[in-house]
């Protein structure tokens, strides 16, 4: 019998060994891997996101929980793949050209994975053409861009323009975030949405997924 409350508690408190144990116990008890993901790991990361939003959790607690969540996903992934399971959505993410600040982008990436998304992380200092290439090959639902500086965030506009020039703009939703980024800037450059933090990015991505 799966104990999803125990699994969630283990994820939220960042206990890697316990997450592995409760994930394995659930599977051994006959639970479907998708059910373990949907009823254990994903709701746990939802709670982590909520705690982050209300300042009960900070970056360390979030990273520690995400590490524990990934230990559970590592067990489930091959089983899900064997079942032909599909992620909730697919995201291409990166820190824009000229910018090496990636902790914010990494947090968004981790929370997206915790939310059931498949994430292709292009890393930092990503040129617009690399985003375009990734959209062509990976066919994601979303392109998400991060920047630390007012000067580097302008590369977000270049990426939106490059997507348009490649005829790919209407294939994806474009999201932007980072210290200097605002809703006003998002609107100016023709991106689809802005989020102030990782939790907001996951919530908005879920809302915008095709039904």
Partner 1 sequence: MIEPNFERFRSMLLRAGEPDRVPLGDISVHPMLKAGVLGRPVRTPEDEVAFWTTAGFDYVPIEQGLQLTDVIKRQSMHEVEAQYAADTADTQVRSWATEGTGLISSQADFEAFRWPDPDTLDYSPFERITPLLPPGVKVIATLGKVFTCVSWLMGLEGLSFALADDPELVAAVFERVGRFQCRVVENMLCFGCVGAVWHADDIAFKTQLLVSPRILREHVFPWYVAMNRLAHAKGVPVVYHSDGALQEVVEDIIACGFDGLNPIEPPAMDINAVKQEYGKRISIIGNIDLGYTLTRGTPDEVRAEVRQRIHDLAPGGGYAVASSNSVPEYVPLANFNAMREATFEYGRYPIAV
d(CA 36, CA 72): 9
Stretch that binds partner 1, among 59-67, 71-79, 113-121, 161-169 (CB under 8 A): 59-67
Contact between 30 and partner 1 per CB under 8 A = no
Contact between 125 and partner 1 per CB under 8 A = yes
Q: Which is nearer to partner 1, 46 or 99 (CB)?
A: 99
Q: Which is nearer to partner 1, 19 or 172 (CB)?
A: 19
The residue from 5, 17, 29, 58 that contacts partner 1 (CB under 8 A) is 58
Q: Given the structure tokens 């008890």, which residue do they identify?
A: 29
Contact between 46 and partner 1 per CB under 8 A = no
Contact between 149 and partner 1 per CB under 8 A = yes
d(CA 24, CA 12): 17
Contact between 158 and partner 1 per CB under 8 A = no
In the complex, what is the shortest distance from the CB of residue 145 to partner 1, in angstroms, rounded to a whole number?
15
Contact partners, residue 209, CB within 8 Å, separation at least 6: 88, 89, 141
- Longest CA–CA span in the chain (Å) reads 54
Q: Which is nearer to partner 1, 50 or 81 (CB)?
A: 50
Contact between 17 and partner 1 per CB under 8 A = no
Is the Cβ–Cβ distance between 44 and 11 less than 8 Å?
yes
Contact between 123 and partner 1 per CB under 8 A = no
d(CA 112, CA 206): 9
Q: Which is nearer to partner 1, 29 or 123 (CB)?
A: 123
Closest to 101 measured CA to CA, from 120, 119, 122, 125: 125
The residue from 21, 38, 61, 129 that contacts partner 1 (CB under 8 A) is 61
First to last CA, the chain: 31
Q: Which is nearer to partner 1, 55 or 82 (CB)?
A: 55
The residue from 1, 28, 30, 60 that contacts partner 1 (CB under 8 A) is 60
d(CA 189, CA 199): 23
Contact between 151 and partner 1 per CB under 8 A = yes
Distances in Å between the Cα of 98 and the Cα atoms of 11, 48, 127, 147, 174 are 35, 31, 8, 9, 19
Stretch that binds partner 1, among 24-32, 149-157, 160-168, 203-211 (CB under 8 A): 149-157
């Amino acid at each position: 019998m799966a104990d999803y409350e125990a699994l969630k508690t283990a994820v939220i408190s960042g206990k890697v060994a316990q997450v592995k144990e409760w994930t394995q116990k659930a599977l051994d008890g006959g639970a479907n891997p998708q059910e373990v993901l949907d009823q254990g790991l994903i709701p746990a990361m939802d709670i982590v996101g909520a705690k982050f939003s209300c300042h009960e959790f900070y970056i360390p607690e979030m990273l520690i929980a995400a590490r524990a969540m990934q230990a559970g996903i590592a067990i489930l992934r091959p089983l899900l793949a064997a079942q032909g399971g599909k992620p909730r959505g697919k995201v291409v993410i990166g820190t824009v050209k000229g910018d090496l600040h990636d902790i914010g982008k990494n947090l968004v990436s981790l929370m997206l994975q915790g939310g059931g998304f498949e994430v292709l992380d292009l890393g930092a200092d990503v040129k617009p053409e690399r985003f375009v290439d990734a959209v062509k090959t990976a066919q994601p639902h979303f392109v998400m861009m991060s920047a630390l500086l007012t000067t580097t965030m302008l590369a977000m506009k270049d990426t939106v323009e490059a997507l348009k020039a490649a005829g790919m703009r209407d294939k994806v939703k474009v999201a932007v975030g980072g210290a200097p980024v605002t809703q006003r800037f998002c609107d100016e450059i023709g991106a689809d949405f802005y989020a102030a933090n990782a939790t907001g990015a996951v919530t908005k991505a879920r809302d915008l997924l095709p039904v």
